[in-house]
Structure 1
């Protein structure tokens, strides 16, 4: 534990937990996680959803309402991989989105297959309102635009933090954000979680949460640099982390509780979203301390 008698104007003694004492070990572990994630992505690739690979959308109208969770399970038993089943205007109007069927049947045969499954398990008349085919080219365009948007977002974040704080803090924050995404992508690839627009939304939420956490810490460091000019940057980081520790832990705890509730009670549609958020929040909180700040510490030595 570090002790310092000149932290504020009142000259009171504070006991400061030395977070940076473990920075090299934690940095090494997280570095191995990043390298492992990249290797996993190259080996296992991603499980792209219908939004990226293309598929078929069928809207049907039923005589009476049905249990969409049961229908989804029956479709999966019949060979459809993770079909999306949603109610539209009412419980009798159902939208079904599926990727290519294993036997590579055409759109008309696919809709006939869907109708036969509903008739088999629900024994009611089914009317097809519309059939739309979503081509794979849409997915390619989405991926391209998403990567471009992400690149510009990272550049904008770096520019803002460089202007708001110092570029040594900005470099650590941007690298930590990239590491959050890489490790989260590694988990998505390892567990073969289907990547659709819901997962993209969770990734954007992770970036926002992680960035907010890092900016709060950076802001406190900036304030303490102005107040404690005679103290080393290493000690200022530890002091700042201790000052925002309660806020960071409480925010992370409350957010994790909400995500766990979604994971347990949100159903199959929110399961992958919640799991991705859970992984991202944990990694983002750790990287705020043991990637962002060690990098800024190294860069600051070169700046000084």
Structure 2
């Protein structure tokens, strides 16, 4: 291939940007932490039934007016049923919420179908298991890439994935966006998406090591990235458009999930070029790492 975009020409600038965002994210996680939602901290779940259909957004506004600004509201089955999640373990919280809502709904009578309390111990268990699942996913990714390619590729992939996860968590920590189970699911999905993009670039780099025998590593990466760029952009843009639609029309309950995906997909597209591939340069990947040397044939000394 005669024409290739010099992606690696700005790798030092990209590294500086990466380090800046990573340090900010880690600092925010260390000093501000994540704003864990009710799934992790515990709280009260209230199921309400209305006589007439009602929008969750209207219930959310009514609760905010009543002083429950952190309430999470979602539809539950029929259009007349809503599910309210609130912090606190007050046994009378369900009645208080129902009274506050009834005072603002007028003739649309409501009833309390059930009230449940999720203790903090359950939330801690979910948080610990979620973190363990994420670590196991990262470990599995590294083993898979190291087995399929070579350990230097595996290390580059894992550093790239860690970057994507740290940036996503950093945004949620810096802006104190609620972090619940749906966001955790999005983070796990980011690991799979980012790996897929990285694998495509790695596979082309390995193939070009055989085809472009005179090309240096940096030239190989530039050519391989250019060859896969249209595929990468098509995948990323179509995915981001679907996520944007989810952010706009999915409602508040899916907003955190879609936001995490949007950040992760954007970071994953960037990291597959300027982190995973740059790691190969730092690790000094050579053709000999991928192509085992041919053993010399034994010489027959018999007369």
* TM-score higher than 0.5: yes
Contact 1:51 1:197 in 2 (8 A): yes
Give unpaired runs (5+ residues) of structure 1.
1-6, 8-13
Instruction: Give the direction of change, closer, same or farther, for the CA distance of 1:255–1:96 in structure 2 (3 Å limit).
Output: same
Counterpart-to-counterpart distance in 1, 2:247 and 2:81: 27
Aligned partners of 1:144, 1:208: CA distance in 2, in Å? 20
1:120 paired to 2:108 = no
Which residue pairs with 1:145 in the alignment? 129
> Which residue is 2:295 aligned to?
none
Shift of 1:172: 0.7
Describe the SS at the equivalent of 1:93.
strand
Displaced runs of 4+ in structure 1, greater than 3 A?
A: 301-304
SS at match of 1:65: coil
SS of the counterpart of 2:52?
Answer: coil
Match of 1:179 among 146, 149, 163: 163
Give a deviation string over 1:86-106, Cα, whole Å, max 9, x none.
333312232221122xxxx71
- 1:135-157 Cα shifts (integer Å, max 9, x gaps): 11111111111121112111111
Report if aligned partners of 2:134, 2:188 keep a CA contact under 8 Å in 1: no
* 1:10 aligned residue: none
In structure 1, how many angstroms separate the alpha carbons of the residues matched to 2:284 and 2:33? 37
Which residue, 224, 232, 242 being the options, matches 2:216?
A: 232
Separation in structure 1 between the aligned mates of residue 83 and residue 180 of structure 2, nearest angstrom: 17
DSSP-derived class of the 2:46 partner: strand
How far residue 280 of structure 1 moved from its aligned partner, in angstroms, is 1.5
Write the distance in 1 (CA, Å) between the matches of 2:162 and 2:99: 47
User: Residue 86 of structure 1: SS of its match in structure 2?
Assistant: strand
What displacement does 1:60 show?
2.2
**Residues 23-102 of structure 1 mapped to structure 2, 5 A cutoff:** 23-100=11-88
Query: Is 45-54 or 227-236 further displaced after alignment?
Result: 227-236
Q: CA deviation at 1:301?
A: 4.8
- Most deviating of 87-96 and 112-121: 87-96
The runs of 5 or more residues in structure 2 that have no matched partner are 290-303
Matches within 5 A, 1:110-259: 110-123=93-106, 124-259=108-243
Q: Tell me which residue corresponds to 1:4.
A: none
Contact map agreement 1:80 1:99 (CA 8 A) in 2: no
How many angstroms does 1:61 deviate by?
A: 2.3
Supply the distance in 2 between the matched residues of 1:257 and 1:162 (Cα, whole angstroms): 32
What's the offset of the Cα at 1:284?
1.2
- Offset at 1:70? 0.3
Q: Give the structure 1 partner of residue 294 of structure 2.
A: none
The aligned length equals 287
User: For residues 62-109 of structure 1, what are the alpha-carbon distances to aligned partners after superposition, in whole Å with 9 as ceiling and x for unaligned?
Assistant: 222222210111112222243222333312232221122xxxx712x2
Distance (whole Å) between structure 2 residues aligned to residue 173 and residue 249 of structure 1: 19
Check conservation: 1:81, 1:99, Cα contact below 8 A.
no
Tell me the distance in 1 between the aligned counterparts of 2:114 and 2:170.
38
Aligned to 2:292: none
Contact 2:156/2:280, CA 8 A, preserved across alignment? yes
Deviates more, 1:240-249 or 1:70-79: 70-79
